């Protein structure tokens, strides 16, 4: 119904008092926001609350939003900041020990070799967990960049705008993130093809 309406149109309507325009923006971006949170934190715990926090902050500030940056880069910036705060609170990095990851890896590989095709759903879930855990092992600045690139498929320019860094820094973070993810997921990546 409103698929052809641009973000700018919706923002303008909201600024003129149309609450339905805000809800259209929420519907348009709620999945992306949910997955940025999910991939960043690696868990569904508190997902809805955090997504609500994102959109409440958007609602508070949207009246003053000026189209100097794109809406989604502004929205993703808010999302990433909330994720960083939340990750600090949860102290995720401390909880995710090397041993735990190694254990997941070996479990994963065993399943991959012995049970291939017998329980695709379980296997796929296991793989997702492995990828999520590998993402958690990255430094936050690399994780943000790789999620915005690989999941959101943003360009370097858009990632730079969202994260407030240079394009060169985006390239560097992406390269390091990829190198580290390849290292962490090597056993799985090797058997995927």
Partner 1 sequence: MNHEEATRLLQEYHDHELDEATARAVELHCRACVPCSRVLESWKRLQVVIQDAAVADLGPAFVDELRESVLTDRDSSGVWLTVEPLARRTVVALAIVVTLLTSMFWSSGDERTVSGPHAVVIVPTDSAANMDLLQTNELTKADVLFAMLGE
Give me the residues that bind partner 1 (CB under 8 A), please. 19, 22-23, 26-27, 30-31, 34-35, 37-39, 44, 47-48, 51-52, 55-56, 59-60, 124, 127-128, 131-132, 135, 146-147, 149-151, 155-156, 171, 174-175, 178, 181-182, 185, 188-189, 192-193
The C-alpha atoms of residue 80 and residue 63 are separated, in whole angstroms, by: 21
- Residue 141 half-sphere exposure toward CB, CA atoms < 13 A: 11
Nearer CB in complex with partner 1: 36/73? 36
Q: Looking at the chain, how many residues does it have?
A: 193
Contact (Cβ atoms closer than 8 angstroms) between residue 148 and residue 154:
yes
Q: In whole angstroms, how close is the CB of 153 to partner 1 at the nearest point?
A: 9
Question: What DSSP designation does 10 have?
Answer: H
Q: In whole angstroms, how close is the CB of 175 to partner 1 at the nearest point?
A: 6
- Annotate 63-74 with b (16+ C-beta within 10 A) or e (fewer): eebeeeeebbbb
- How far is Cα of residue 165 from the mean position of the Cα atoms in its chain? 18
Nearer CB in complex with partner 1: 2/156? 156
Nearer CB in complex with partner 1: 110/186? 186
The C-alpha atoms of residue 54 and residue 52 are separated, in whole angstroms, by: 5
């Amino acid at each position: 119904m409103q698929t052809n309406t641009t973000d700018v149109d919706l923002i303008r309507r909201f600024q003129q008092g149309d609450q339905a325009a805000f809800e259209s923006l929420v519907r348009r971006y709620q999945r992306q926001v949910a997955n940025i949170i999910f991939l960043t934190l690696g868990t569904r715990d508190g997902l809805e609350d955090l997504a609500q926090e994102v959109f409440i902050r958007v609602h508070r500030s949207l009246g003053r939003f000026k189209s100097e940056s794109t809406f989604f880069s502004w929205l993703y910036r808010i999302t990433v900041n909330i994720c960083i705060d939340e990750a600090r609170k949860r102290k995720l990095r401390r909880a995710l020990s090397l041993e735990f990851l190694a254990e997941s890896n070996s479990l994963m590989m065993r399943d991959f070799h012995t049970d291939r095709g017998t329980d695709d759903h379980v296997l796929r879930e296991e793989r997702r967990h492995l990828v999520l855990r590998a993402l958690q092992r990255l430094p936050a600045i690399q994780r943000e960049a790789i999620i915005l690139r690989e999941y959101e498929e943003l360009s370097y320019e858009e990632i730079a705008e969202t994260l407030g860094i240079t394009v060169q820094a985006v390239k560097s973070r992406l390269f390091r993130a990829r190198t580290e993810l390849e290292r962490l997921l090597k056993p799985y990546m090797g058997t995927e093809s």
